[in-house]
Structure 1
Amino acid sequence: MNAFTRGAEELLQQVLHLRDAALAAEQAQAERLAAFPEARRISARNLLHYLAVRRVDLRPLQMRLAQLGLSSLGYLEPHVLASLQAVATRLAEMVGHTPASPPASCCTFATGARLLQDNATALLNPPRDKRDVRIMVTLDSHDTDSQQLGELVAAGMDIARINCAHDDAPTWRRMAALVRAAPPTPVGPALVQIDLAGPKSRTGSVTPQGRVLHLRPQRDLRGQTLAPALLDLWCGDGPVPTRHTTAPVLCAADAQPALAAVFPDPLTLHFTDTRGRARHARLMARDGALLRFAFDRAAYIEEGLPFSLCDEQGGALCVARFAGVPEVAGVLHLRVGDPLLLTRDDLPGSPGERDEQGRWLTPPQIHCTLEAAFDAAQPGQSVWLDDGRIGAIIESRSAQTLQLRVTYAAPQGSKLRAEKGINFPDTSFDVPALTAKDLDDLSAMASQVDLVALSFLRGPQDVQALREHLARNGREDVGIVLKIENQQAFAQLPAILLEALAHPKVGVMVARGDLAVEMGFERLSEVQQEIIWLCEAAHLPVIWATQILDTLARSGLPSRPEVTDAAMSTQAECAMLNKGPYIADAVRFLCGVLERMEGHYAKRMALRRPLSIAQPGLLEPPATAAPASPKNSEPGP
């Protein structure tokens, strides 16, 4: 036997060993597999095969196979045994052996691709002619109307997303009805997805800074006024009329309503602003008792500030006070080294107080909405706030508080406001994904939706609970989207996927916002890739989400990095865009990117390091021990 034959024989034994390991993993779960519907059993087997194969480092084998001109196993996810069998057959022929017959449970190349396509179609509707990746858009409850929805569908939206973390059931029903009434897409009506809020950990309210309005005209680089600042002043009786306007609207308190109709032109508004500077504005337009004034200079207006309306000669026609000035949201200014107190009690946060030497007399404090954090979090564990913009370490804890020390912030300090996310990546929680609010929201919206997204799940038990509640609402047919956005869900992903395969329509969302904070930004790329690989092995569609073309949707112009990021969404079956003033432009842009890139990519081939997530014992919920910090743990596969 020459060196070539010996090398081929050695490779054959390695491939056959992988095949035997895959079959052994299937046999170990034989009783569990028997409970799956026949249509799902093939996918469950293939997932088990994949997990078994990815427990080892395949890279040396891949390199040697490629040198022989054989498949390097760089794309085996949807058909693991078929890929191994094809390579084993070629190697057997090289060494003069009779190729072994493929196992009876083998998922063929054609079957694996077809199952993934069929499952994506069942959950997300058929793909459009020029692109396979569907586009999901988060609706804005304040700006969404029938005209905008028609424009979004025409631009390329396939699925409308309603976030139940905001607004209420009547608002969601209105948006769902608008989607139903919108013109259909080329492959059928646009689908409606609701995202249940889940046990999201957020900051509570912060004591407002006051009621002050800052009016600023638009100026050129030489300080010349390009456009005046506008202010609408309601001088009538009763509440301010509801109108769509970009100008702030204030009320004239203590004014005589009858006078507004007879105010002469021209009319000017005079007052001294909060800085003690005299300001005046000219009447620009009027609609009954609603007067619009234009300012050529900046002004600060506080609640209760007196003003007068004057005629052409400067005579005062009316003296009143400004009312209805909006509150300026409270904010905590935090720097590295500052203390921060998280409180269980739902009290308004405060910025704290220092003495004359700058030492803290009382620390900044803010409410944390996740009660479980005060029972589970421990000193030494990390906390990240506002999507990772602020980092801290827990120094001490009590039943009602967590004392933090800020370890990461912007050089000039970072601002922490209300309703910002709080992540505890080092802390293991035993918290159901479905809250009491979620159950009420699900009951209110069950009949209105096509897909339900489960937020902040942590294990297979959460998937089972959602299926049970859908059954109680008579919606076993609704599609389920599992949002992977914390360490526990990622660690239990194999078990979660096996549980999910019991449902007829299911997909996975890579929620990259919270996931990046939980896993560490440096690991996000590999983590999202691992999720895609495992979902493809289970023949389940993936939704690529969070900040895709976010700059374009908000400002009208894309950044170069986000265009590349958008192109990477060709690895998924759906890409999700968030709301913004230019969202229709972002949808059209994404359509163009996808139509071009899908001709170049179709699930990318890759080298196969061992997957830590594929190790034995991960098909069942792990012990309650807290996972290692993503900042200090070993790099993932």
Structure 2
Amino acid sequence: MLQDQPNIQSMLEQVETIERAAQSKELEYAEVLSRIHPNLLASAKNLIHYRTLRSFDIRELQKQLGRMGLSRLAKAEGHTMASLSVTATILRALLLGEFVEKERVNLTITKAQEIVRTHTRKLLGYRTEGRRTRIMVTLPGEAAEQPELVFEMVQKGMNCARINCAHDGPEAWKKMIANVRTASRALGVHCQVAMDLAGPKIRTGELQPGLKVRRFKTPKDSLGRVKQPVEVWIAPAPHPTKPYPHLPLSSVELKKMKPGDKLYCRDTRHKKRQFRVTKVLDDGCLAEAYRTVYLGEGSQLFTDKKLKSRPLTVGVLPPLEAPILLTTGDILRIHRSNELGESAKYDDNGQLIDVAHISCTSEEVFEQVKVGEPILFDDGQIEGVIRKVKDGELYVEILHTKEGGGKLRADKGINFPDSNLSIRGLTTKDRKDLPFVAEHADVVNLSFVNSPQDVRDLIDELSQLGAANRIGVILKIETQAGFDNLVDILLEGMAVYPIGVMIARGDLAIEAGWDQIGRVQEEIMSLCQAAHLPDIWATQVLENLAKKGIPSRAEITDAVMAQRAECVMLNKGAYITQAIGLLDSILRSMGPYQEKNAPMLPAMEGAKRRK
């Protein structure tokens, strides 16, 4: 051992240097720590200690510790000073060749694990028996009118229902919440309600309206054969509870229809088509078509095959959206004015008359972006670069779209990943929505948190509403600035309790770059663990399954990785209940193999299908 003494001495000095630096940094943060909620004070100190540890490059020290069979400090997030103290004690004992009593620390490994569980339970409610990780699910608009859907979601394992304030309104939100509460009581479980403030997301503006036409499309198999008819609700108003495609007809003739009757027409393509009535109700009828039908406002349907009867006229139809088709090399003009966007215009010879244009919902960006900076649309599906900034307009050259061109629609996200934007968190709409959220929800989700000031603004608003420390807070990290300022953001947020973090990987991947998102989400999880705050793994989890009914292999792997978080979020989709069920099964089966970021080793089993 003597020949290793210089090496052990050097290792001990490195550990002691980190310990002193962590203690010194804690003193620097004394004023910030004075504002921390009492339940989070020890956690806030540990966050400071861990961030200090990570300011050192300890890779060589880790290798040396590993070669000696000692802890490599790789899992020290939740108990940094305890891990450093234990390591220093062992190194001193090896150096002296005798027993050395370990220093007492307030935050032990066991205590840190219990703190995380307590904070998670306070914010996200009780876990489902048999799995550690909670499931949060975004409620679709139909959840307001379909209590049976909400019941099934809770029954399948939803622990927290998320309502996005960017959609619907107070009347629908109130119905959704009532359905969640009713389902929870009926099933004897508690499902939290979290409401997402819309936040200052930069989006594309409105487009010129398209034609007033509706397509009733029959689903087909891979060979192009009709699998089943399309069901259509024919009535003056949409169906009150079911999302059937709606054909607006207002005529006394409808009241005379009976099951088996047919309605005939020539659609907008002058093709012969027919609907067969399957059910007649007081306010309309259900009908089915076995071939795709296009009908416009004013189109006529007849009760006889020769189209000689008194016509039934199609009523008012909403215009179709006319998306802008963009290909590589195109120029797109983005403007501050509310002028409706439209595609490029060409003359009869195919010569360009005017470039495509669309407005932007945020006026601030026009003063803050620069020529040469990248710009991304619709979750990065369309990429461009700013070529000119002039008089409230940006001229963007399109650099990349999917093959055949990308369709840019209204209300799609715009990202400026390299621009230094100073856009604050709470919007006018957020402040308007907050009283409802504070009264009815268990948790408020703050979108696009970029700085400690954004968090302070929310806490001030909640304090004025008497809701601070009564309603939980989740900070959504979805920008580069949010990640870069995360330690200070967390410390600001820890003034209230309970609090957690959502890793909004969609916008974050666009902002940070696809090559960086893996590292960034790992760092966010590490900092959350250091602060003993629950983290929520969000965006595109089992997305294919939720929307199309079939999961991809890649998203199954992603769901398995999500087990390390305290909560996983699913977005809405036609197959959302199936997605909840599969995620519940994955989290249960993976629970024995993972405790946060520490792999566990249960007895090895063969592969077997779970029933």
Distance 2:535 2:447 in 1: 15
Counterparts of 1:36 and 1:246, CA distance in 2: 48
For structure 1, which segment, 294-303 or 189-198, has the greater mean C-alpha deviation from structure 2 after superposition?
294-303
Q: What's the offset of the Cα at 1:357? A: 5.9
2:137 aligned residue:
137
| 1:174 alignment partner, SS class | helix
State whether residues 481 and 507 of structure 1, in contact with CA within 8 Å, keep that contact through their aligned partners in structure 2.
yes
Is 1:157 the counterpart of 2:154 in the alignment? no
CA spacing shift, 1:398–1:187, aligned 2, 3 Å: farther
Task: Specify which of 324, 327, 336 is matched with residue 328 of structure 2.
Answer: 336
State percent identity of aligned pairs: 35
SS of the residue aligned with 2:62? helix
Distance between the aligned counterparts of 1:297 and 1:34, measured in 2? 69
Task: Summarize the Cα distance change of 1:339–1:153 in structure 2 as closer, same or farther, 3 Å threshold.
Answer: same
1:541 to 530, 534, 543: 534
Cα distance, 1:92 vs. partner?
0.8
- In structure 2, how many angstroms separate the alpha carbons of the residues matched to 1:599 and 1:388? 37
Aligned equivalent of 1:310: 304
The letter for the 2-side match of 1:120 is T
Render the CA deviation track for 1:223-270: whole Å, top value 9, x for unaligned: 655434455544xxxx437455565333457xxx45555579986544
> Which deviations, in whole Å up to 9, do the C-alpha atoms of 1:532-575 show, x marking residues without a partner?
10111111110111111111112222211111111111221111
User: C-alpha separation between the residues in 2 aligned to 1:266 and 1:581?
Assistant: 29
Greater mean deviation of Cα atoms: 321-330 or 115-124: 321-330
CA distance in 2, matches of 1:148, 1:291: 23
Once structures 1 and 2 are overlaid, which stretch shifts more, 221-230 or 3-12?
221-230
- 1:521 is matched with which residue? 514
**8 Å Cα contact 2:143-2:176 kept in structure 1:** no
**Counterpart mapping for 1:317-332 below 5 A:** 317-332=309-324
Hey, what's the Cα distance between the residues in 1 that align with 2:6 and 2:258?
A: 103
Partner amino acid for 1:363? Answer: V
Give the Cα–Cα distance (whole angstroms) in 1 for the partners of residues 238 and 270 of structure 2. Answer: 31
The match for 1:616 is: none
More moved, 353-362 vs 38-47? 353-362
Alpha-carbon contact 1:512-1:546 (below 8 Å) kept? yes
Task: Spell out the pairing of 1:46-445 with structure 2 (5 A cutoff).
Answer: 46-96=46-96, 107-144=107-144, 145-184=146-185, 188-219=189-220, 225-234=226-235, 239-240=236-237, 242-244=239-241, 248-252=245-249, 257-261=251-255, 268-280=262-274, 286-287=280-281, 290=284, 294-310=288-304, 314=306, 316-355=308-347, 358-445=350-437
How much has 1:305 moved relative to structure 2? Answer: 3.1
Shift of residue 41 of structure 1?
2.5
Tell me the number of residue pairs that the alignment of Structure 1 and Structure 2 aligns: 597
Structure 1 counterpart of 2:497: 504
Cα displacement (A) at 1:121: 1.6
SS of corresponding position for 1:79:
helix
The 3 A distance-change label for structure 1 pair 103 and 586 is: same
Q: Confirm or deny: 8 A CA contact 2:195 2:445 kept in the other structure.
A: yes
Helix, strand or coil at the partner of 1:316 = coil
After TM superposition, give the deviation of residue 505 of structure 1 in Å.
0.8
The CA deviation at 1:100 is 7.6
Partner Cα distance (2:569, 2:201) in 1: 20
Secondary structure at 1:392's aligned position in 2?
strand
The 3 A distance-change label for structure 1 pair 433 and 263 is closer
Q: Which amino acid in structure 2 is aligned with residue 176 of structure 1?
A: I
- CA deviation string 1:443-478 (max 9, x = no partner): 123111110010112111111111111111111211
Match for residue 585 of structure 2?
A: 592
Indicate the SS of the match to 2:41. helix
CA distance in 1, matches of 2:261, 2:39: 76
**Per-residue deviation at 1:146?**
2.2
Change (3 A) 1:355 1:473: same
Change (3 A) 1:449 1:292: closer
Q: Which moved more, 1:544-553 or 1:243-252?
A: 243-252
Indicate if the aligned counterparts of 1:547 and 1:577 stay in contact, CA closer than 8 A.
Answer: yes
1:80 aligned counterpart, secondary structure: helix
Deviation digits for residues 183-214 of structure 1 (CA, Å, limit 9, x no counterpart): 34988521111100111111111112202233
Q: Of 428, 438, 445, which residue of structure 2 is paired with 1:446?
A: 438
Instruction: Please tell me whether the aligned partners of residues 36 and 496 of structure 2 are also in contact (alpha carbons under 8 angstroms).
Output: no
Q: Is the 8 A contact 1:350 1:365 kept in 2?
A: yes
**2:599 corresponds to 1:602:** no
Residue 163 of structure 1, CA deviation: 0.4
Q: Following the alignment from structure 2 to structure 1, what is the Cα–Cα distance between the partners of residues 112 and 528? A: 12
Tell me, in whole angstroms, the C-alpha distance in 2 between the residues paired with 1:279 and 1:133.
Answer: 52
Aligned residue in 2 for 1:32: 32
Structure 1 range deviating more: 259-268 or 151-160: 259-268
CA distance in 2, matches of 1:263, 1:146: 31
Q: CA deviation at 1:327?
A: 2.4
CA contact (8 A) 2:258 2:279 kept: no
Q: What SS class does the counterpart of residue 301 from structure 1 fall into?
A: strand
CA distance in 2, matches of 1:582, 1:242: 21
Task: Indicate the SS of the match to 2:511.
Answer: helix
User: What 5-or-longer segments of structure 2 have no aligned partner?
Assistant: 600-611
**1:568 match:** 561
Alignment CA distance shift 1:250-1:501 (3 Å): closer
2:36 and 2:491 in contact (8 A); partners too? no
CA deviations over 1:346-365 (Å, ceiling 9, x no partner): 22210121345655321111
1:289 is displaced (CA, Å) by 8.3
The match for 2:604 is none
- Contact 1:89 1:100 (C-alpha < 8 Å) held by counterparts: yes
1:5-40: per-residue Cα shift (whole Å, max 9, x none)? Answer: 222222111111221221221122234334434433
Unaligned runs of 5+ in 1: 607-637
